[in-house]
């Protein structure tokens, strides 16, 4: 046996463990008052057959354990809230990327339409879906394209484009 373990054993020989009855009574008192006054500690010690210092140390240790548990609970709550926010942030980033992809596809479609409109003005064949004369003006500006039921609605020119025909592999932005 090492000297350190022997010294610990000698220190603990004079200590008694609290009985279950003493602990349950101290627990009850802690629930009603976590910081009893000196007089109350002496009364508890006398009633339980303990030294006042033992009672004082028990209350001190109990407060420390309670504070540790409270800090751990607060940490777990904060950790859960952080993980929830991080998850929502990731979903929003994915949604943002999907919307950017849709915007890029729509810009490409608009560019193609603009080219078709320009070529139809010079006598070439055009696509009947985009026969509005204001499309050249519309696609020259930044597009604001609302979506509903898989359709992109262009505010200017009242043109309608079925987005599902253009994007068969992409999920709808609202599906996760």
| 31-79: pLDDT as tens digits | 999 999 999 999 999 999 999 999 999 999 999 999 999 999 999 999 9
CATH superfamily of 3-75: Homeodomain-like (1.10.10.60)
Residue 126 confidence (pLDDT) above 60 = no
Cα 129 from chain centre: 45
**Segments making up each domain of the chain, as ranges:** 3-75, 95-166
Residue 65 sits at the vertex; the CA angle it makes with 31 and 9, to the nearest 5 degrees, is 115
**CA 16 → CA 12, 53, 95, 101, distances in Å?**
8, 13, 64, 72
Please state, rounded to an integer, the average pLDDT across all residues of the chain.
Answer: 78
Percent of residues, the chain, with pLDDT higher than 90: 55
What pTM was computed for the model?
A: 0.49
pLDDT for 148:
53
69: which residues sit within 8 A by CB, 6+ positions away? Answer: none
What SS3 class is residue 35? coil
CA separation, residue 4 to residues 1, 10, 12, 58 (Å): 8, 10, 12, 25
């Amino acid at each position: 046996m090492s000297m350190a373990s022997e010294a610990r054993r000698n220190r603990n020989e004079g200590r008694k463990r609290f009985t279950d009855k003493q602990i349950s009574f101290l627990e009850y008192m802690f629930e009603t008052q976590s910081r009893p006054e000196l007089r109350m500690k002496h009364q508890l010690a006398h009633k339980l057959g303990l030294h006042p210092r033992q009672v004082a140390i028990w209350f001190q240790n109990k407060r420390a354990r309670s504070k540790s548990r409270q800090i751990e609970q607060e940490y777990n709550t904060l950790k859960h809230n952080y993980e929830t926010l991080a998850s929502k942030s990731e979903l929003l980033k994915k949604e943002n990327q999907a919307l950017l992809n849709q915007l890029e596809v729509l810009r490409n479609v608009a560019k193609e339409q603009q080219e078709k409109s320009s070529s139809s003005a010079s006598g070439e064949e055009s696509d009947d879906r985009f026969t509005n004369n204001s499309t050249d003006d519309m696609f020259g500006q930044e597009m604001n394209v609302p979506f509903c039921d898989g359709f992109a609605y262009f505010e200017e020119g009242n043109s309608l484009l079925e987005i599902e025909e253009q994007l068969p592999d992409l999920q709808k932005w609202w599906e996760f």
